[in-house]
Structure 1
Amino acid sequence: MIFISGGVRSGKSSFAERMATELHLQLPNTKLHYIACGVASDKEMTERIARHQKDRQASNANWETWECAYDVYKIASAFGKSDILVLDCVTTLLNNYLFGREMEDTEQVMQHMWKDISSLSKTGAEVVLVSNEVVQGVPYSSELVQRYQYILGTLHQRIVKEADTAYLVEAGIPVCMKGEKG
């Protein structure tokens, strides 16, 4: 598993797509899959989704896109060892559980998130997880934001522990934080 995090508009999704495409070229008979967790809930998200779709189309790679706002584990059985998956992104998936499903129990949210992530990992596919780095900022006084940061920070630690490689992308520059570089 490869974990890629970074701030908003840091270039993490582009890096993940490039990395997956390079793996695809190196490994014959593999198939590229993009698990898109975004929901076009407002103008900004609609534009972001369109931009990501355009970027994938421009890459000349043959991506199969799966729109999956939550319950990613339900599609995991479709993947196997000959697949390369990009899940974009863990942060959006968490948003969907907290706000779309209005899940209030922190432990339940973390269990759902881990079920989704681990189900992909267990397929034998090469899994690339993308996530926003939102826990490095100033602590918020809002209980909801603190809870969000707690869940995401806890998930990031668990993901990185399980991942073979972890990157932090800043200003378009990927920095290898764990594992071997490319």
Structure 2
Amino acid sequence: METTTSITFITGGVRSGKSSFAERIAIQKAEEIGGSLHYIATGRATDSEMRLRIKRHQEDRNKSGHSWKTWEKETNISTLATEFNKKDVILLDCLTTMLSNELFAHEADWVEQRLEKKEVFQRIWQGIKEIADYSNQVVLVSNEVLNEPILPNELLVTYSELLGKLHQKIVRYAESAYLVEAGVPLLMKMHVQKGG
């Protein structure tokens, strides 16, 4: 049996309330250990809608009454791992954006068929795992975007395939996993620690 890591996985559709729920989980975990809160933002303010979403998330964190240290990291998150310690709770928002960033950062390599899918998968998974290993807990937000038909576009097919595989890998190793729908978190997985 595979060992679980200190990851809480939270997914849901757009505007489902998953980010607010993720913030509550992160705050609760930080309070339990007397730890610090960190936010890894993977989003880019590429248009007015994204700027509004980023601003709303920042305002929500400010209203929480808790102090957050924000790290803006669009790609290659493993470089942050050594910044954390076992008193840190990390909220990483979000996996779908990070995957897009990783793919488009190497778009020319895709066109020339030099970059392997497994390289992108490993870079993202290892980054998440390293941050989880250094910190007390990672609360990881993703999106359910795989329920819609996929257009016959090589990059979209690759994106969907990688996201599905990342979801499976992360949930396999996570302590807990939630699906948020209409603001209601549905527990999909809970690892119960056995007494020693």
Q: What is the TM-score with the length of structure 2 in the denominator?
A: 0.87
Aligned-partner Cα distance in 1 for 2:173–2:87 = 20
Per-residue CA deviations over 1:61-105 (Å, capped at 9, x if unaligned) read 111111111111111101111010000001110011111342523
Measured in 1, the distance between the counterparts of 2:50 and 2:82 equals 28
1:173 is aligned to 2:179: no
Q: Answer with 80-89 or 37-46: which moved more.
A: 37-46
2:119 matched residue in structure 1: 108
Shift of 1:139: 3.3
1:163 to 157, 168, 174: 174
Aligned 1:127-138 pairs, distance under 5 A: 127-138=138-149
- Counterpart contact for 2:90–2:135, Cα < 8 Å: no
| 3-state secondary structure, aligned to 2:142 | strand
Partner-residue secondary structure (3-state), 2:185: strand
Render the CA deviation track for 1:26-58: whole Å, top value 9, x for unaligned.
222x00000000111111111111111111011
Q: How far has the Cα of 1:4 moved from its partner?
A: 0.3
Indicate which of 6, 14, 26 corresponds to 1:8.
Answer: 14
Q: Give the aligned length.
A: 180
User: More displaced, 47-56 or 19-28?
Assistant: 19-28
Equivalents in 1 of 2:44, 2:187: separation in Å? 30
Specify whether residues 44 and 100 from structure 1 end up closer, same or farther in structure 2 by C-alpha distance, changes over 3 A only: farther
Give, in angstroms, the shift of residue 173 of structure 1: 0.6
* Equivalent in the alignment of 1:86: 91
Give the whole-Å Cα distance in 2 for the aligned partners of 1:84 and 1:61: 12
Per the alignment, in what secondary structure is the counterpart of residue 87 of structure 1?
A: strand
* Cα distance in 2 for residues equivalent to 1:124 and 1:166: 18
Runs of 4+ off more than 6 Å: none
Instruction: Give the counterpart of 2:165 among 120, 144, 154.
Output: 154
Q: Find the aligned partners of 2:94 and 2:174 in 1 and give their Cα distance.
A: 16
Deviation at residue 170 of structure 1 after TM alignment? 0.7
Q: Decide which structure has the larger Cα Rg and report it.
A: 2
Query: Using the alignment, how far apart are the partners of 2:123 and 2:43 within structure 1?
Result: 17
Runs of 5+ unmatched residues, structure 2: 1-6
Structure 1 residue 141, shift from structure 2 partner: 2.5
